[in-house]
Amino acid sequence: GSGKSTLVGIVSGTVVRDQGELVIAGEVVTSARPAVSQRHGAITVFQDGSLIGELTVAQNLFLGTDPAHRPRFGRMEAWAQELLNSYGFDIDTTLRASALPPGDRQLVEIVRAVAAEPKVLILDEAT
């Protein structure tokens, strides 16, 4: 192919580049690790998803938040519901992620990514 998947992997920190350098918002990214890419503001929503099926929708949304912006644990479900509603989605935040239809799982993934306010957001064949 044309290298789209490789480029997505390099930017997201899941593929080690063999030459050149990765610069995100003027900062050189020196390590090929997803956490490093995320700290530089690059978030990828992959086609196969990354929700943890045993956790609720609220817990999955909570996992992706910056600790400085994270709600108190007791307010997690209300925060998650407000977040989804702000994007116009009515998804029950108390359901386990594994109970959601595929389309709702994808929406939760995208909302989690957008809520992190990334500098670069890559939707890898997201529906």
Per residue in 70-121, pLDDT (tens digit) is: 777 788 899 999 999 999 999 999 999 999 999 999 999 999 999 888 999 9
Sequence-ordered list of residues with C-beta below 8 angstroms from that of 39, at least 6 positions apart, any chain:
none
Are both 108 and 66 inside the same structural domain?
A: yes
Are both 61 and 38 inside the same structural domain?
A: no
Q: Which pLDDT does position 64 carry in this prediction? A: 66
Are both 102 and 72 inside the same structural domain?
A: yes
* Residue 68: domain span: 57-117
In a domain, 9, yes or no: yes
Q: Which pLDDT does position 127 carry in this prediction? A: 55
Are both 25 and 68 inside the same structural domain?
A: no
Q: Which stretches of the chain are assigned E, i.e. beta strand?
A: 22-24, 27-29, 42-45, 120-123
Are both 38 and 62 inside the same structural domain?
A: no
Coil, strand, or helix at residue 30?
coil
**Predicted confidence (pLDDT) at residue 17 exceeds the cutoff of 80:** yes
Q: Which pLDDT does position 2 carry in this prediction? A: 80
Are both 71 and 98 inside the same structural domain?
A: yes
Total residue count of the chain as it appears in this document: 127
In a domain, 124, yes or no: no
Are both 66 and 98 inside the same structural domain?
A: yes
Are both 68 and 18 inside the same structural domain?
A: no
Sequence-ordered list of residues with C-beta below 8 angstroms from that of 73, at least 6 positions apart, any chain:
none
Buried b / exposed e along 53-75 (16+ C-beta atoms within 10 A): eeebbbbbbbebbeeeeebeeee
In a domain, 29, yes or no: yes
**What whole-number distance in Å separates Cα of residue 47 and Cα of residue 76?**
26
Are both 10 and 62 inside the same structural domain?
A: no
Q: Which pLDDT does position 48 carry in this prediction? A: 79
In a domain, 111, yes or no: yes
- Tens of pLDDT, residue by residue over 19-65, are 999 998 888 988 888 888 888 889 999 877 889 999 999 999 988 67
In a domain, 101, yes or no: yes
CA distances from 112 to 24, 49, 104 (A): 20, 12, 12
In a domain, 122, yes or no: no
Q: What is the DSSP pairing of strand 42-45 with strand 120-123?
A: parallel
Amino acid at 35: A
The tally of domains found in the chain comes to: 2
Two tokens at 5? Answer: 């998947």
